[in-house]
Amino acid sequence: MRITKKLLGELSSTIAIAAAILAFSPVTAGASGPGTASSNLTNVSSGYVADSTGNAEATSNAEFTVTPGALTLNQVPNIVLENTSVKSIASGNAELTVTNNAPTAGTAYDGNNTGTLNVTDYRGNSAGWSLTVGLGPFTSGKSTVTEAALTLDQTTGTLDNTATAVPSSIKLTQSTVANGWISNPQLLWNAAAGTGQGSNTATTAPTSNLQITKQSDIAAGTYDATLYWALQNAPAATTPAS
């Protein structure tokens, strides 16, 4: 009985060893392919055979890697409005149209004088993004404009993904600034998930304007306000329709 068990055990071991050898041995010269992870053309000396029984078949790999980039805010516009007079503001509401002029004062340095707004998204995750902007108070020395609203309209330029929504037309009122930033910015541009990839450009439209409410104590001077732009790496939350 013990001899039989011993012989059976040795036979099982021999079969296991033979199977292992076959699994890791190169395919024979008569194989037609394609290869496997352990038996393939890199370790077969005679190659695969094509004959009357069938083709010689092989597989190989083609591969490349796409590396991610960044979501960036590249250009924001200065907004310079036409001149007006003390009489115009002191005697009634005034509306000032946007111009192509460059600012002569102010403490913000990121704006361009071509009206260009540009966001690029090369992250490669199709997560979407949102851009907000807020308007600080118009001041000239110690003088302030008590009530004004800036209408920002955009002319859409290049959108690499044509499914990306165009910028909104918004009206910005003067807001307070706390800790170096605006208190209530508005959503200007929202790229939903699956959109916004590539380069996205818009330009300040000539219909943009500033409405100033009648202010009898307005002082002469050059009034400047800061625009606060913020790009977020996700779309703005939307309120479900009721």
Per the domain annotation, does 57 fall within a domain?
yes
Query: Quick one: how far is CA 110 from the chain centroid?
Result: 20
pLDDT at residue 57 tops 90: yes
pLDDT at residue 84 tops 80: yes
What sign does the CA torsion over 31, 36, 39, 43 have? positive
Query: Is residue 50 located within the same domain as residue 88?
Result: no
Q: Which of 14, 33, 63 is the last residue of a domain?
A: 63
Contacts of residue 16, defined as CB under 8 A and 6 or more positions apart, other chains included, come to: none
Under 8 Å between Cβ of 241 and 190 = no
64 HSE (CA, 13 A, CB side): 2
Query: Is residue 89 located within the same domain as residue 145?
Result: yes
φ/ψ of residue 87, rounded to 5: -60, -45
Percent of the chain topping pLDDT 70: 85
Query: Is residue 213 located within the same domain as residue 94?
Result: yes
Find the domain containing 226 and state its range: 71-232
Residues 100-121: pLDDT tens digits?
Answer: 999 999 999 999 999 999 999 9
Query: Is residue 170 located within the same domain as residue 227?
Result: yes
Query: Is residue 54 located within the same domain as residue 79?
Result: no
Q: Which of 12, 28, 63 is the last residue of a domain?
A: 63
Counting every residue, how long is the chain? 242
Per the domain annotation, does 132 fall within a domain?
yes
Query: Is residue 146 located within the same domain as residue 180?
Result: yes
Per the domain annotation, does 242 fall within a domain?
no
Query: Is residue 166 located within the same domain as residue 217?
Result: yes
Residues 190-209: pLDDT tens digits?
Answer: 999 999 999 999 999 999 99
Query: Is residue 18 located within the same domain as residue 78?
Result: no
Domains of the chain: total = 2
H or E segment and range at residue 147: none
Residues 163-188: pLDDT tens digits?
Answer: 999 999 999 999 999 999 999 999 99
Q: Which two tokens stand for residue 15?
A: 């079969």
> Tokens 């009357």 label which residue?
52
Per the domain annotation, does 181 fall within a domain?
yes
